[in-house]
Amino acid sequence: MSTHSLQINGLVIDRGSTRIVDDFDLALVPGEYCVVLGPSGCGKSTLLHCIAGLLEAARGSIAIDGYDVTRVTARKRDVGLLFQHDTMYPHLTVEQTLQIACRANLRRRPSATETNQKIQSILQTLNLDPAWLPRRPETLSGGQRRRVALAKTLIREPSVCLLDEPMAAIDRLAAESLMQHLAEVSGQTESTTFVHVTHDGDEAMRLADKIVVMSNGCILQSGTPQEIYQSPNCTDVALALGSPPCNLLPLDEVLRSCSQLGEAFQSSPPDSTNELALMIRPEAIQLVEPDLNEKAMPTVTELGMWQFPVTLLERRDLGGRHLLRLQLIGSENSPPLSATTFQESIPHETGTRWICQVPVSDLRVVAKSPQHSTPGTSKTCGGTES
């Protein structure tokens, strides 16, 4: 018997002659919280609909709690789905909606008393107002409906809970508290496994035990948030997490301006450096001192710091920290660097030259992402006609 509550192997999903999801694998243990992260149109909703049984798989298999459900109808799958544009019954009150959802528990149908207890409990868990119970959906705001819809999905206590952009249409503070509640719910329950899809990297970092980064229907990388953040395997993955986004510099140009850097990397960079980029997270960059005589050259110090001169283009106060835009001197074709810093002594005057540093151990060499991958089939992955 499998120890996985959700196991997907080689899943392929087509819409007509268009391949939407290709060769998708995922294995989650009970209670695990997985966030599938990817840009609009990469196939996230399609994937959830297929796991829920609303779309057929062209190839591959889906197993829930060790049982192959690839050909099992949606109603018989122990799956709850929060749709991206949620459908609440317009003629039912919030309370009636929650009662029906609660009784749809496939493992054990609760009594009327238990149903009421579960409704009270889910209201408390998600911090929902009990005054909403007698109300119909049209009397609630979009954000309130979204939170009720989430309660409806969770109250059924499915084995696998699929959440399609749960924070959409919710204001920042409500989303913040909902994230906190979701983290608590997933921390408390060992019996429900979550698959949450979003294009928001911060959401993924906050909630996920495991992140799967998708592009054009294919998995680019999966791992813990720390693995993905610190060691992305390509530029698309590097850009998926972090705000402001990471800096990506052409590796060959950087190595031309500072050959010591190539030697300082633990393993020497591969030969074809034009296919590689140097990733620098904004928080890794520190301003060291003004370059008063304007003669500083890029170098690697004995303490393992890559130091280089920049021109300060812009400084913005983000409330407690600063966002800087810096132009590398000698690499004027490279895009300006973004840096975030809590340093107090940041100058106001733009146009001044500074020496910056980044620990070499914080630099990452990443492959430039292919524009569109075509993974081994006659059809193009990600919405392109064959």
Ligand X SMILES: Nc1ncnc2c1ncn2[C@@H]1O[C@H](COP(=O)(O)OP(=O)(O)OP(=O)(O)O)[C@@H](O)[C@H]1O
Strand segments, DSSP code E, in 207-328 are 210-215, 218-223, 247-250, 276-280, 286-290, 299-300, 305-317, 322-328
Told to check if 257 binds ligand X by CB under 6 A, we report: no
Which of 40, 87, 113, 266 is the binder for ligand X (CB under 6 A)? 40
- With contact defined as beta carbons under 8 Å apart, do 308 and 288 qualify? no
Smallest distance, ligand X to C-beta of residue 80, A: 18
Told to check if 15 binds ligand X by CB under 6 A, we report: yes
Residues binding ligand X: what is the number (CB under 6 A)?
A: 13
Question: Taken in order 226, 229, 231, 233, is the CA torsion positive or negative?
Answer: positive
Smallest distance, ligand X to C-beta of residue 382, A: 7
The smaller minimum CB distance to ligand X, of residues 43 and 309, is found at 43
Smallest distance, ligand X to C-beta of residue 29, A: 25
Q: Kindly identify the residues of this chain, within the stretch 174-213, that bind ligand X according to CB under 6 A.
A: 199
Which of 33, 43, 77, 356 is the binder for ligand X (CB under 6 A)? 43
Told to check if 53 binds ligand X by CB under 6 A, we report: no
Distance of CA 48 to the CA centre of its chain: 15
Written as one string, the DSSP assignment of 267-289 is: SPPPS-GGGEEEEE-GGG-EEEE
Which of 5, 7, 46, 105 is the binder for ligand X (CB under 6 A)? 46
The smaller minimum CB distance to ligand X, of residues 245 and 383, is found at 383
Compute how many other C-beta atoms are within 10 angstroms of the C-beta atom of residue 374: 17
The smaller minimum CB distance to ligand X, of residues 38 and 158, is found at 38
User: What b/e string do you get for 312-324 counting C-beta neighbours within 10 Å, with b at 16 or more?
Assistant: beebeeeeeebeb
The smaller minimum CB distance to ligand X, of residues 290 and 383, is found at 383
- With contact defined as beta carbons under 8 Å apart, do 331 and 325 qualify? no
Of 83, 73, 80, 72, residue with least CA distance to 146: 83
Compute how many other C-beta atoms are within 10 angstroms of the C-beta atom of residue 16: 8
Which of 11, 28, 42, 287 is the binder for ligand X (CB under 6 A)? 42
Smallest distance, ligand X to C-beta of residue 68, A: 23
Q: Kindly identify the residues of this chain, within the stretch 80-119, that bind ligand X according to CB under 6 A.
A: 84
Told to check if 45 binds ligand X by CB under 6 A, we report: yes
Which of 6, 8, 11, 20 is the binder for ligand X (CB under 6 A)? 20
The continuous run of DSSP H or E covering 332 comes out as none
Q: What distances in angstroms separate CA 44 from CA 48, 194, 222, one per listed residue?
A: 6, 14, 15
Told to check if 44 binds ligand X by CB under 6 A, we report: yes
- The residue ranges that bind ligand X (CB under 6 A) are 15, 20, 38, 40-46, 84, 199, 383
